[in-house]
Amino acid sequence: MNKIAMVDLKRQYEKIKPEIDKAISEVIESTAFINGPSVKAFQADLEQYLGVRHVIPCGNGTDALQVAMMALGLKPGDEVITANFTFIATVEVIALLGLTPVVVDVDPDTFNIDPDAIRRTITPKTKAIVPVHLFGQCADMDAILQIAREFNLYVIEDACQAIGADYIFGDGSRKKAGTIGHIGCTSFFPSKNLGCYGDGGAIFTNDDDLAKKMRSVVNHGMTVRYYHDDVGVNSRLDSIQAAVLKIKLARLDEYAAARNRAAEFYDKAFANNPKLKTPVRFGRSTHVFHQYTLVTSGIDRGALQEYLAQKEIPAMIYYPVPLHFQKAYQDPRYKEGDFPVSEHLCKTVISLPMHTELDEEQLNYITSSVLEFVNR
Ligand X SMILES: *Cc1c(COP(=O)(O)O)cnc(C)c1O
Q: With binding defined as CB under 6 A, does residue 238 bind ligand X?
A: no
Contact 259, 288 (CB under 8 A): yes
Q: With binding defined as CB under 6 A, does residue 235 bind ligand X?
A: no
How many other C-beta atoms lie within 10 A of the C-beta of residue 112? Answer: 25
Give all strands of the β-sheet with 79-83 in edge-to-edge order.
54-58, 201-205, 183-187, 154-158, 126-130, 79-83, 100-104
Least distance between ligand X and beta carbon 135 (Å): 9
Report CA-CA distances (Å) from 284 to 44, 141, 165, 167, 316: 27, 9, 11, 6, 27
Which of these ranges, 32-40, 55-63, 168-176, 267-275, lies near ligand X under the rule CB under 6 A?
A: 55-63
What is the number of the residue whose Cβ is closest to ligand X?
Answer: 61
Q: With binding defined as CB under 6 A, does residue 189 bind ligand X?
A: yes
Q: With binding defined as CB under 6 A, does residue 373 bind ligand X?
A: no
β-pair partners for 293: 351
Q: With binding defined as CB under 6 A, does residue 158 bind ligand X?
A: yes
Question: How does strand 166-168 pair with strand 174-176?
Answer: antiparallel
Sign, CA torsion 61/66/72/77:
positive
Q: Which is nearer to ligand X, 61 or 232 (CB)?
A: 61
Q: With binding defined as CB under 6 A, does residue 84 bind ligand X?
A: no
Choose, by CB under 6 A, the member of 161, 286, 293, 362 that binds ligand X.
161
Q: Total binding residues for ligand X by CB under 6 A?
A: 14
Choose, by CB under 6 A, the member of 90, 112, 216, 285 that binds ligand X.
90
Least distance between ligand X and beta carbon 162 (Å): 9
Choose, by CB under 6 A, the member of 4, 27, 43, 61 that binds ligand X.
61
- Amino acid identity at 307: Y
Non-local (6+) Cβ contacts of 95 within 8 A are 101, 328, 329
Binding site for ligand X (CB under 6 A): 60-62, 86-87, 89-90, 132, 158, 160-161, 187, 189, 201
